[in-house]
Amino acid sequence: MKKLLFLVLLVCQCAWAEEPMILTTEDAPPTNMLAADGKTIIGSATEQIHELFKRAGIPYTITLYPWVRAITMATNDRNTCVYSTTRTEPREDQFRWVGPVAPNDWVLYAKEDSKITLTALNDAKKFRVGGYRGDAVALYLEEHGFKLDNATNDEQSLKKLLAGRIDLMATGSSSGPWVAKKAGVKIKPVLNFQKTSLYLACSLSVSEATVNKLNAVLKEMEKDGTTEKINRKYQ
């Protein structure tokens, strides 16, 4: 009976060890996005995640969702992480953090021919500012008294900017130029108002040992040039 119980426990432990981690993400180029086939998830952060988990020997799955659902799953569901996520003070204690996987300062962009000049963030309050609903950039601005005209993604926010519905577009330093390039237009940075980076944010149910292992492997990737090589592909 004891031997049978031991075998059952051993099988349970093995099954637990082999359970893949659930990774959620959103369509937010160039760090994470859908390829032209509409199915494959690519991007600079995605490639780093693939290499990171391969080296760590940890099975995983990646699924793309709308942002609010992606981060909610990582907050509430067991064995789940979300990327690419800005590490902010309100989020700090909600997750275990792996990274950073990419720099992504917060920037206010204007149309190429705009005459707007800013020296401080508060100067932007007299203009119509657009953001990405639920995004860390938008949440930060709203906490600082901005009344934003939010869109469902950066592409929609860019369309509002080009149509003159907003004067400034608030987004990340990597995503802003990327969506503009994809649309075949030019935008210009008016104010870099916050230095930030993007992370893999894991549910508190993910063990500290697993997070430490992933962070150690990520540092190895930075040292051997893998991270820089991947990021260059998406610049």
Among 1-5, 26-30, 171-175, 213-217, name the most confident range. Answer: 213-217
pTM for the structure as a whole: 0.82
Measure the CA–CA gap between 87 and 141, rounded to whole angstroms.
Answer: 15
pLDDT tens readout for residues 56-109: 999 999 999 999 999 999 999 999 999 999 999 999 999 999 999 998 999 999
pLDDT digits (tens, 9 = 90+) for 96-148: 999 999 989 999 999 999 999 999 999 999 999 999 998 999 999 999 999 99
What is the pLDDT confidence band of residue 22, given thresholds at 50, 70 and 90?
very high
- Give 168's pLDDT tier (boundaries 50, 70, 90): very high
Q: What is the mean pLDDT of residues 33-43?
A: 96
Q: Which domains does the chain have, with CATH numbers?
A: 17-103+197-233 (3.40.190.10), 106-194 (3.40.190.10)
Q: What pLDDT band is residue 18 in, cutting at 50, 70 and 90?
A: low
